[in-house]
Amino acid sequence: MALIGIYGVMSYAVAQRTREIRLRMDIGARPGEILSMMLKGAMAVAVAGILAGGLAATCLAALWIPALRAARVEPVQALRCE
């Protein structure tokens, strides 16, 4: 499902830039340059997603151990501390 969604978003982004691509080719851009431009843009989005996922994974890892520790505390011990 995720691959279909990513394909759809990237396809839509390229379709939105069709006029720009056509104009660039009219003024002399080669197909390889256009492909490179589109791939760089897509990879920038991918890297941003990976970084955001890495930040989320780091947050999850940082919270996992304290959450497990809190879940194992006996209710009587928690009440004694207060």
Can you give the residue range of the structural domain that contains 40?
2-81
Please report which residue ranges of 27-74 form alpha helices under DSSP H: 31-71
- The secondary structure element, H or E, covering residue 17 is none
12-60 tens-digit pLDDT? 988 999 999 999 999 999 999 999 999 998 899 889 989 998 888 888 8
**Tally of CB atoms within 10 A around 78:** 10
0.85 surpassed by pTM: no
Domain count, the chain: 1
